[in-house]
Structure 1
Amino acid sequence: MADQSSRNKQGGNLQSIAKAERLTQIAVVMPCAVFIGWGAGAMLDHWLHQHWIYIVGLIFGAVAGLIEAVRQALSAKE
């Protein structure tokens, strides 16, 4: 009987850790997407000899990060 309750406790702890990991991903995805968008825009600026494409990359990264964060948050809710 004690062995069964310790297994249930351990399973609950693993589920809590997995949920915390999913929530951490939500917090990390937005800054990463913005940084990747900025980096891609800066590389295109350098390659095409322009000075405005990084702004488009920032906006695109922010939108993509927000969409992914909302998607992950909705799936973590279940």
Structure 2
Amino acid sequence: MRSPMLNSLLQKCLQMFIQCTHQRIHHISPAEYEEFVGIVCSARTAFCMTPGGMVQFHEMLQSLRRTKSCKRDLYQRILNGLHSSNV
């Protein structure tokens, strides 16, 4: 069982990651897609470690998808990356 302080720290880290991804997506170029997809796929593991983390992760994905900066190709790459890392 984790201490409340550790849970609080983990939640703050996840919130900061979500803010960072939203900031990054507004300034991303197609050359950076692969790196961004890798980061998002790796982050899923961190989200899995916290209670309710997967809900937060899926909300983040949906929020990214709705941004104007997230092109269809990028979102499809994210989904493909998540699927291939799941198999």
- Larger relative CO (CA 8 A, sep 6+): 1 or 2? 2
- The structure in which a higher percent of residues are helix is 1
TM-score (norm 2): 0.32
Larger Rg: 1
